[in-house]
A and B are shown apart, each in its own frame.
Chain A
């Protein structure tokens, strides 16, 4: 019986990956999470140039989860590639954010020769203009971006979210263009207002909601995608314990990503691995894929 699994050609040591945007600016932290049982780690979404992001407050608790508008702060793809070059032996799925095919391809080229099992395209950040959801809402643009990257010979995971167009159209565009997998979903565009001051709690006003409140929405999306499409799906949204991870597998996901719940608890990956392992043993499964097929 094994927790190791393979999704779209990417070898995962376990079914629970670190989601993009969480804890992602130190190679030492990535190494610690991989040593703690994460199946793989995904970087913060990298842009062509460094981004400082929005001023604080960028995160606030809301409805049992977290609301954030960090504003895609990241060191930029060239700096991140140099960080990886300086820390060999730490494979990282690299998340990219941009607005046109050439931008994505030139960023991907920076990582040639480095341990990048796949690139995850952020087509779903809900709080920055011109990128993220604004790209994901345009299936024709998604198609061109995925085709260009596949033409460059790299593995591509399209991370989709709930924008203003039907997200299933984005999934179809990515699949038809040759994407290797889909991650569903990103945070859900949301807002909180402080009643005492009358002000939004985030400096940006709108943000994205993560954590337990979005899990049922994400499970629904995973089931919708896997019931209509062949492309492998990585479930993401509010996974906080092994039961949540199992729920996504039962919905049809091939693996899961953990974001908010990894906050302050790097041990969550070992907890999920141990819980899934016992679950599989009780049910007589020898592979992760059997959990999925049991649904």
Chain B
């Protein structure tokens, strides 16, 4: 169990929960923790690390478990296990990092690891202006491009539209993406069609986090233990990326 040291609002529905834990502070970009709120459920969360010894989760409230985590206060105890999963293969040259919603967390961590703002473009996709998160912090890590579906901030259109324009410039040697699966599928397809190396950090329902339960499977891959980060070619080979998910009973359904 770890004690919550701080809670900060990012948007009306997104909060960052800070805590101290040496293991989580050492988590690599793309790695996740299974986070337990006693009495409120457990869910996989991408780990944000930054301050020495400190780590954080950025959570959007939507289901019971994420709402429970959103509702914790400074001083509360929460359970964390992990970090689990792999990390990104950071390439040379100019890099496009595209994040949608709380999918910005691994992109921020990745940008910190690259630690060279001159070769990083951070594309932040959101539905509308108030949902844009981490803008100030991102500006210190690279060139920031914002897109909103309703045009209330930055470019009007989806993150896929913005990524298409950016990748079309031919300036990028690699692209990295985390966000809703249809957005990731769109950007992975754009990058692959141009021969740009691309990786995505995938989110799927999880129970164990360590490759036992099978809940997070995508084709013959397990997101928790083979991922969360996969190459675009591997994702395309699953035949399920961006097209099929499994419900709580394990029934394959189309997006």
CA distance A145 to B39 in the complex (A): 39
Task: With A29-B220, A31-B220, A194-B79 as known contacts, state yes or no: A23 contacts B211, CB within 8 Å.
Answer: yes
Cβ of B250 within 8 Å of any chain A Cβ, yes or no, is yes
Please measure, in the bound complex, the distance between the C-alpha atom of A44 and the C-alpha atom of B222, giving whole angstroms. Answer: 16
A29 / chain B contacts, CB cutoff of 8 Å: 214, 217, 220, 222
Cβ-defined contact, B38 with A23, below 8 A: no
Q: Which residue of B lies closest to A32 (CB)?
A: B220
Contact segment of A5-13, A54-62, A153-161, A176-184: A54-62
Are A52 and B249 in contact, with the CB atoms below 8 A? Answer: yes
Q: A56, B41: Cβ atoms under 8 Å?
A: yes
Contact string against A for B residues 214-243, beta-carbon threshold 8 Å, 1 for contact and 0 otherwise: 110111101011000000000000100000
Residues of B within 8 A of A76 (CB): 249, 251
A123-131, A196-204, A239-247, A270-278: which lies at the interface: A196-204
**A265 at interface (Cβ–Cβ under 8 A)?**
yes
B212 within 8 A of A: yes
Chain B residues near A22 (CB-CB < 8 A): 212-214
Known: A23-B212, A199-B38, A262-B212. A74 touches B249 (CB 8 A): yes
Identify which of B42, B220, B249, B250 gathers the most chain A CB atoms within 10 Å of its CB.
Answer: B250
Q: How many whole Å from B162's CB to the nearest CB in chain A?
A: 33
Q: Is the CB of A59 within 8 A of B38?
A: no
Q: For A51, A73, A79, which residue has the most chain B Cβ atoms within 10 angstroms?
A: A73
Distance between Cα atoms of A201 and B36 in the complex (Å): 9
Number of A-B contacts (CB under 8 A): 115
Asked if B50 is at the interface of the complex by the 8 Å CB criterion, the answer is no
Using an 8 Å CB-CB cutoff, how does the interface string of B35-46 with A read, 1 for contact, 0 for none? 010110111000
Any B CB within 8 A of the CB of A66 = yes
- Tell yes or no: A216 within 8 A of B by CB: no
Instruction: Please give the distance in Å from B247's CB to the nearest CB on chain A.
Output: 8
Does B39 contact A199, Cβ atoms closer than 8 Å? yes
Question: Is the Cβ of A50 less than 8 Å from the Cβ of B36?
Answer: no
Beyond A50-B251, A70-B213, whether A197 also contacts B39 by CB under 8 A is yes
* Distance of A86 from chain B, by nearest CB (Å): 10
Closest to B224 in A: A264
- A66→B166 CA distance, assembly (Å): 46
Bound complex: CA of A161 vs CA of B225, how far in Å?
Answer: 29
B90 in contact (CB, < 8 A): no
Interface string of A23-37 (1 = CB under 8 A from B): 111101101100000
Instruction: Assess whether A122 is interfacial by the CB under 8 Å rule.
Output: no
Given the interface contacts A55-B64, A75-B250, does A263 sit within 8 Å of B220 by beta carbon? no
Selected A-B contacts with CB under 8 Å, 7 pairs: A32-B220, A50-B250, A56-B42, A57-B41, A59-B212, A60-B81, A197-B39
Q: Which residues of B does A touch, CB under 8 Å?
A: 1, 34, 36, 38-39, 41-43, 64-65, 77, 79, 81, 207-215, 217-220, 222, 224-225, 238, 246-252
